[in-house]
């Protein structure tokens, strides 16, 4: 049903000649890993600048405690690098991930970016393409999904954001530890996208191409759903090295930085 082929390592296509759109996810940027942030800023200036659009499909940041954290010079530097890209003519779209779902309008404004809903169905050079962070495809991770339901409730979010920034950050640090401990008890299979959830998403949206991140398992999968052939691209995390997906009218290819 699904054939993995990470396809990483192809040569980067160059220039603006062929209109194209880039996709990235799971960068987990933070001040503690300045090298990743440097690579990201170089990618914006040297590569993304040639694209029509850049989609960040969640988890741009290690975590996001609220837009008042833009006072952090690291976070403000990321926003201004995105704004520079946007001013250069590349449309920037940000989807919220499970780590930065508290990104709000103030951040979007600072980055001159548009927030993309999760999921988003778009026409990518003639190919219907469904974009999602990917966490909701992991339907076997019931503990996480119960937690997700709670923290995505607007009432929970407004109460959380009303608390002092330092308190929020301390709580998130505790949650990170809890999450790491919980993950060590879960199987790899449990934390992967589930075939049923993938099929349901593809069926619901008319059998498009699917692009998502979250699982950190870069691959190209081919699914046959109800007789329709659907391509699913999983984006890589930027933990060891940067990577992006380049899509134009001829298709998509994964590129390692
Ligand atoms: O991110 P990753 O890939 O390492 O792990 C995820 C799931 N974990 C998370 C937690 C985040 O990593 C923590 C940072 C989020 C910051 C958000 C800011 C605002 C929220 C602040 C809340 C206090 O998303 C992990 C998945 C994994 O992906 C694979 O899919 O397994 O899920 C977990 O480990 C979650 C646990 O299983 C359940 C945790 C319950 C904790 C309850 C604490 C009470 C919090 C109060 C909420 C009402
Ligand atoms: Mn994620």
pLDDT at 44: 98
Is residue 99 in contact with ligand 1, taking CB distance under 6 Å? yes
Cα angle: 137, vertex 246, 51; to 5 degrees = 120
Domain segments of the chain as ranges: 21-256
Cα 27 to middle of ligand 1, angstroms: 17
Give me the mean pLDDT over the 202-211 stretch.
Answer: 98
Cα 215 to middle of ligand 1, angstroms: 14
Strand partners, 124: 127
Q: Are strands 120-124 and 114-116 parallel, antiparallel or unpaired?
A: unpaired
pLDDT at 6: 38
| Residue-by-residue DSSP string for 105-137 | HHHHHHHT-EEEPSSEEEEETTEEEEEE-SGGG
Q: What is the pLDDT of residues 163-192, one digit of tens each?
A: 999 999 999 999 999 999 999 999 999 999
Asked if 114 contacts 93 with a C-beta cutoff of 8 angstroms, the reply is yes
Indicate the average pLDDT of the chain: 94
Ligand 1 nearest-atom number relative to CA 59: 1
Is residue 159 in contact with ligand 1, taking CB distance under 6 Å? no
Please give all residues whose CB falls under 5 A of ion ligand 2, grouped by chain where several chains appear: 59, 97-98, 214
pLDDT at 14: 52
Ligand 1 nearest-atom number relative to CA 186: 31
| Smallest-distance ligand from the CA of 214 | 2
Strands (E), the chain: 21-24, 53-57, 91-95, 114-116, 120-124, 127-132, 209-212, 219-225, 228-234, 243-248, 251-256
pLDDT at 15: 53
pLDDT at 122: 98
The CATH class that applies to domain 21-256 reads alpha beta
Give me the mean pLDDT over the 31-48 stretch.
Answer: 98
pLDDT at 172: 98
Going by CA atoms, what residue is nearest to atom 43 of ligand 1? 175
Asked if 78 contacts 37 with a C-beta cutoff of 8 angstroms, the reply is yes
Give me the mean pLDDT over the 138-154 stretch.
Answer: 97
Task: Report CA-CA distances (Å) from 89 to 34, 49, 85, 225.
Answer: 26, 7, 7, 37
Is residue 171 in contact with ligand 1, taking CB distance under 6 Å? yes
């Amino acid at each position: 049903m699904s054939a993995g082929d990470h396809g990483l390592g192809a040569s980067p296509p160059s220039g603006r000649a062929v209109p194209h759109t880039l996709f990235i996810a799971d960068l987990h940027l933070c001040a503690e890993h300045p090298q990743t942030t440097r690579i990201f800023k170089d990618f914006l200036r040297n590569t993304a600048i040639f694209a029509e659009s850049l989609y960040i499909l969640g988890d741009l940041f290690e975590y996001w405690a609220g837009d008042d954290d833009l006072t952090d010079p690291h976070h403000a530097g990321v926003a201004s690098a995105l704004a520079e890209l946007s001013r250069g003519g590349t449309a920037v779209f940000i989807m919220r991930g499970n780590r930065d779902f508290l990104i709000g309008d103030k951040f979007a404004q600072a980055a001159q970016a548009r927030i993309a809903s999760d999921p988003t169905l778009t026409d990518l050079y003639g190919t219907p393409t469904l974009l999602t962070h990917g966490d909701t495809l992991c339907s076997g991770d019931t503990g996480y999904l119960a937690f997700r339901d709670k923290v995505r409730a607007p009432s929970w979010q407004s109460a959380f954001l009303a608390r002092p920034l330092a308190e929020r950050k301390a709580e998130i640090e505790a949650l990170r530890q809890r999450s790491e401990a919980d993950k060590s008890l879960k199987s790899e299979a449990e934390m992967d996208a589930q075939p049923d959830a993938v099929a349901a998403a593809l069926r619901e949206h008319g059998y498009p191409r699917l692009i998502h991140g979250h699982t950190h398992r870069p691959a190209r999968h081919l699914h046959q759903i109800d007789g329709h052939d659907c391509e699913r691209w999983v984006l890589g995390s930027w933990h060891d090295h940067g990577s992006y997906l380049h899509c134009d009218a001829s298709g998509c290819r994964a590129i390692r930085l």
